[in-house]
Amino acid sequence: MEELLAEEVKDLGGQNVQVHKRSVACEGDLAFLYKANYNLRLALKILVPVYEFQARNEQQLYDQVMKHDWSKYLKIDQTFAIDNTVFSEYFRHSKYAALKTKDAIVDQFRNKMGRRPSVDIKTPDIQFDLYAYKDQFIISVDSSGDTLNRRGYRDVGHQATLNEVLAAGLLKLAGWNKDIPLIDPMCGTGTILIEAAMMGQNIPPQVNRHDFSFKNWSNFHPTIWNRVVSEGKAGIRKSTLEISGGDIDGDTVLMANKSLKKFKLNDAVTIQRTALEDHRPKTPNGMVVSNPPYGERIGRINTNEFYKTISDVLKNNFQGFDAWMLSSNMEAFKHLKLRASKKIVLFNGSLECKFQKYEMYMGSRENT
């Protein structure tokens, strides 16, 4: 996904864009920072690095953090928290490194002002990010707060199996655009279809979100932020889209349609309760993008047998379509009995998955 995210960043106006493993670095002004949070579909967090140093033990870590002036980012009456990612033989426990960083920050305030800011790990005003590789440390200020995959079309507490950012990435990897009819015949709560509709109508992914951490920064500029929001909403194009899906589970279909209504997408997307075998496309060609269900959602059918059913349905009902399937079940993939023309390794959280393309032309070839 890194290369795709880099293109998004460049299109928004990011400068000196560099691709790293699991991240993209760039330069930009305050307006770009706001635009990145509001518009990027493939980013989970927008971090602003503020301090780099070396440390090989807890005392060095504490002393180095004490050297930096944290009052530039954190006020005494604000709460804060420290997220952490540590890959170091010198610090076996990442939470301990975060704890020493927290101690140094609060001790600096206490020494200067006689009191200290409070920690709030759930809803902090200011979120710091601690990253370490071997003895190299980077502390960043998190401008986003909640991860940016939380678009707002799901109910609080609802856990979808497919991350929204990953769903948007699948569509970009597959080469989908708004002129291509799209179907997900096993859509669950509709993540792929909703992301497609937002892309197709150029709806900013954070159009309904109001809480970003940068709003708690001392340099927050409401005028610039309001201009970014206005420009984003002005770019929305309510065009007609051929996007549809179905699922055999009535509860997930209800949730999917509820999400569509939240973003006023029920005119752009059709999701119905339909068994996979009964799904018939309304166009002679197009694209299928799907993350097949597992566990209870496929009922009593054996997973391998279900994947065999998927291949039968694709061959019989979706001739003329390109079908893209995402799954972490490598054994089940073998039972699709179709020859993949493209295979991409991805991660859905910690799960290693494959995203595979099948070209469903007349008399699709089977694996031999």
- Cα gap 120→230, rounded to integer Å: 32
- Per-residue pLDDT, averaged over 341-367, amounts to 83
pLDDT tens digits, residue range 132-156?
A: 999 999 999 999 999 999 999 987 6
3-state secondary structure (DSSP) of residue 27 = strand
pLDDT classification of 160: cutoffs 50, 70, 90: low
pLDDT tens digits, residue range 57-107?
A: 999 999 999 999 999 999 999 999 999 999 999 998 878 999 999 999 999
Residues sharing a CB contact under 8 Å with residue 359, sequence separation 6 or more, in sequence order = 322, 323, 341
pLDDT at residue 367 in the model: 47
What is the residue-averaged pLDDT of the chain? Answer: 93
pLDDT at residue 93 in the model: 82
Q: Answer positive or negative: Cα dihedral of 276, 321, 323, 244.
A: negative
pLDDT at residue 349 in the model: 80
List C-alpha distances in Å: 286 to 158, 244, 260, 320: 30, 11, 22, 7
- Cα gap 307→323, rounded to integer Å: 13
CB atoms within 10 A of CB 19: 13
pTM of the model as a whole = 0.92
pLDDT at residue 207 in the model: 96
pLDDT tens digits, residue range 243-260?
A: 999 999 999 999 999 999
CB atoms within 10 A of CB 206: 21
Residue ranges of domains in the chain, CATH in brackets: 2-142 (3.30.2130.30), 164-203+237-360 (3.40.50.150)
